Structure 1
Amino acid sequence: MYQFTENQFSHFFNYLETLDCYTKSEEGMIEEIAAFQQNPNRHIAALVCQNISEVLTYPAPYIRILYVLSGSINIYLDGKKMTYEKGCLILANKWTEVDYKENTKDTMVVSFYFKPEYFSDSLLNQMIEEPMLYRFFVESITEDTEIFSHYCVYQFNEWDDVHFYVLLLLKQVVKMRYFNNKVTKSAFILLIVEISQMSEKCLLLQDSNISAGVLIKEILGYISNNVRIATLTNVAHQFHFHPNYLSAMIKKQTGRSYSDWLTYYRLEQAKRYLEQTNLSIQTIIKEVGYSDKTFFFKRFKTYCKMTPGNYRKNFNYKYK
């Protein structure tokens, strides 16, 4: 577990101040959010707020993460007042009204703002093993879902690793001038995984909204990442459904059967193995969950209009 010293904190925030992410007025925060909104190349923004006496009510129609670095704040979530101390972390979608007031002079609050474009499929797939937070982010960026407030409130200890990962993400976002890069997204994933791992003891409050469409996306994401073991029975057990109910729900929501989806993901994975590795075809067959070579060849030829061997040869020839 990493612990910051007082000197490190001082050096850290001195560095951040040189990069203009440190604000002491609501007007400054509004200007920064406006600049963020107007720049199509920026998908993430971060601010550190300190010494603001009024209630902050500025509009921020983005997915947000707020973290109390020090002191305490009064939070107004959809008009409901709550008081939280250092270590409080709030996730909120763009429909949630989040106003807050700093209670003490030493209060510092970090705010991260995310545009939907930040959450690429590859980034979301890295969260698939953290189901509650995966659902939160997918729900928050899906345009065709109902409009409703969605939030989670946690209370961490200042010595928890979440504290370190918030600062790591903050520094990386500011250092890269708010533009995306692999290290920034890696820092974000580290923070999300740590939040998820500590949810059982640190989650204080959350709404209960979740749409069937988002749940289906989570299930399909799980199948895609676990094709070798993703039988209907295994996946139903993973998500606490009866197999027949899960099968019917997928059919109703997507128009395709569970078997169709599993076949699609297995064959797409087989194609990636053929394109990107030197694994033998027999090994690939096992890796994607098939036990019958003849059955696999038949399915693959129907899907790709050629045998696995010819597919690999054609791909290698095309990209030499």
Structure 2
Amino acid sequence: MQISKSDFHQYLSEYTEDEIFYRNIYLQKKEHPETFQEYLHSLDPDYIRDQRLYVPELRQEPWFPYLGENDMFANIPENIIISKHYRYTPEFTHKHDFFEILCIYDGTVSNQIQGIHHTLHTGDICIIPPNTQHSLGIFDDSLAFNIIVRASTFQSTFFQSLAADSALAKFFSHVLYQKTEGNFLIFHTGEDARIRSTLEDLYIEYMLHARYRSAFLNAQLMMLWARLLRYHENDIESILTKSSGNSSISEILNYLSQNYRTATLHDTAAHFGYSTSHFSTLIREGTGRTFLTIIKELKLSQASRALRETSLSISSICELTGYENPEHFMRLFKKTYGMTPGEYRKEHREN
């Protein structure tokens, strides 16, 4: 199916047959509760079975499905599946072993993650990692769609773009992979036309079934991720940032990536309005690492990059990365990388 971007909102707004079915049930239950049971018995069970529709009132036991990647992507060569979330679908709690990117295109959506309620608005993009219990409900004309991504593709595609910013990359990794409950990342993009346009391009490309679709989808997914980070890396909400006060962990890490040469725990805490002890705890809980570890990783990351890409002397690289003592830098570098800075440069030049 081929649609233009100007027609995309109308396409997404049109009710499907399944949505109409679910809406009729919802309105019957809400407006005519006294005859709702009779209405349920009038439904065609064969139609419900053939369409694989979910009517909780007709089930004998609760439904807590686990969706496997192999089943979801069976006979699908691509790494990405995109689908509209049908309005008025009964909320059901579920888990899966792939990544889900929930995109709120228009309106307001109710979302439950590990039993905690979140209200999502237009422009919100919620990333839900594997094995996270969640549910979603849309009971009006709001519009949302899901981008389902294989776990391996999500990691290779998304985290590849974070290689130059190890602090932010490890924050995301900590949230999405190391936390065991309540995992999520929400980008609040609001009315950003750039993000909206990228989402439309991605969805339309998915619907085209044109040649090289898989390559286009991977590239557009990377573009979405890059734009989210470029324009909204300080508009992130997560299980860790919800209790971090006025400054998000990502905002703090961005500050450190720009000031790692001279940043101290005391001065950085003061900059964000925290006491030193509280800020130290905040960093450790938010990233899984201490303040000093983050600074060391940032310095060594920049040093290794300079060794690979420049001809600067060791003393110049020390000055560039904030190390006052070249001998201390060389000992630390060898302990981390298993070779001296000179050996590291030689190896990467040869390769």
* Same topology, TM > 0.5: yes
Q: 2:5 aligns with which of 3, 8, 14?
A: 8
C-alpha contact (below 8 Å) 1:116/1:141 kept by paired residues: no
Distance 1:231 1:276 in 2: 28
Cα distance, 1:288–1:207 mapped onto 2, change above 3 Å: closer
What letter is aligned with 2:81? Answer: A
Please tell me whether residue 164 in structure 1 is matched to residue 169 in structure 2: no
Aligned counterparts, 1:298-313, within 5 A = 299-300=332-333, 308-313=341-346
Residue number in structure 2 paired with 1:69? 105
Deviation, structure 1 residue 242: 3.8
Is residue 65–residue 89 contact of structure 1 (8 Å, CA) maintained in 2? no
Q: Equivalent of 1:147, from 181, 198, 203? A: 181
Does residue 225 of structure 2 align to residue 191 of structure 1? no
Partner of 1:274: 307
Aligned positions of 1:122-137 closer than 5 A: 122-124=160-162, 137=172
Residue 3 of structure 1 corresponds to which residue in structure 2? none
* Structure 2 letter corresponding to 1:47: S
Counterpart of 2:228, as a letter, is L
Structure number with bigger Rg: 2
* 1:168–1:240 CA distance, 2 compared to 1 (3 A): farther
Identity %: 20
SS of 1:142 mapped into structure 2: helix
Matched, 1:97 2:123: no
Q: Is the 8 A contact 2:189 2:235 kept in 1?
A: no
- Sort the Cα spacing of 1:73 and 1:245 in 2 relative to 1 into closer, same or farther, 3 A: closer
State the AA in 2 paired with 1:147.
E
The letter for the 1-side match of 2:197 is F
User: Are the aligned partners of 1:75 and 1:83 in contact in 2 as well (CA < 8 Å)?
Assistant: yes
Deviations for 1:222-248, whole angstroms, at most 9, x for unmatched residues? Answer: 767764344334544466544456567
The alpha-carbon deviation at position 181 of structure 1 amounts to 3.5
CA distance in 1, matches of 2:347, 2:164: 31
Deviation at 1:172, TM superposition (A): 5.7
SS of the residue aligned with 1:287? helix
Amino acid at match of 1:232: L
Asked if 2 retains the 8 angstrom alpha-carbon contact of 1:68 and 1:109, the reply is: yes
SS across alignment from 2:323: coil
1:127–1:13 distance in 2 versus 1, CA, 3 Å: farther
For 1:68 and 1:220, the matched residues in 2 are separated by 27
Given that 2:306 and 2:317 are in contact with CA atoms closer than 8 Å, whether structure 1 keeps it comes out as yes
Classify the secondary structure of the residue corresponding to 1:283. Answer: helix
The CA deviation at 1:275 is: 2.4
How far, CA to CA, are the matches of 2:193 and 2:166 in structure 1? 23
Partner SS, residue 99 of structure 1: strand
Separation in 1, partners of 2:306, 2:218 = 26
Measure the CA separation in 2 of the matches of 1:55 and 1:166.
25
The 8 Å contact of residues 100 and 147 in structure 2, kept in 1 or not, is answered as: yes
Equivalent positions of 1:153-302 (< 5 A) are: 156-157=190-191, 160-171=193-204, 176-177=213-214, 181-191=218-228, 193-195=230-232, 227-237=260-270, 240-243=273-276, 259=292, 262-263=295-296, 265-297=298-330, 299-300=332-333
The structure-2 alpha-carbon separation of the partners of 1:194 and 1:84, relative to structure 1 and needing over 3 Å to count, comes to same
Contact 2:8 2:200 in 1 (8 A): no
Aligned-pair Cα RMSD in Å? 5.6
Is residue 48 of structure 1 aligned with residue 80 of structure 2?
Answer: no
- Unaligned 5+ runs, structure 2: 20-50, 55-66
Q: Secondary structure of 1:111's match? A: strand
Number of equivalent positions: 290
**8 Å Cα contact 2:124/2:187 also seen in 1:** yes
Q: Return the offset for 1:272.
A: 3.0
* Pair 247,194 (structure 1): closer, same or farther in 2 beyond 3 Å: closer
Q: Which amino acid aligns with 2:221?
A: T
The farther-off stretch of 30-39 and 161-170 is: 30-39
Pick closer, same or farther for the CA change 1:288–1:34 going to 2, 3 Å: same
Mapped partners of 2:347, 2:118: distance in 1: 62
Which letter maps to 1:148?
G
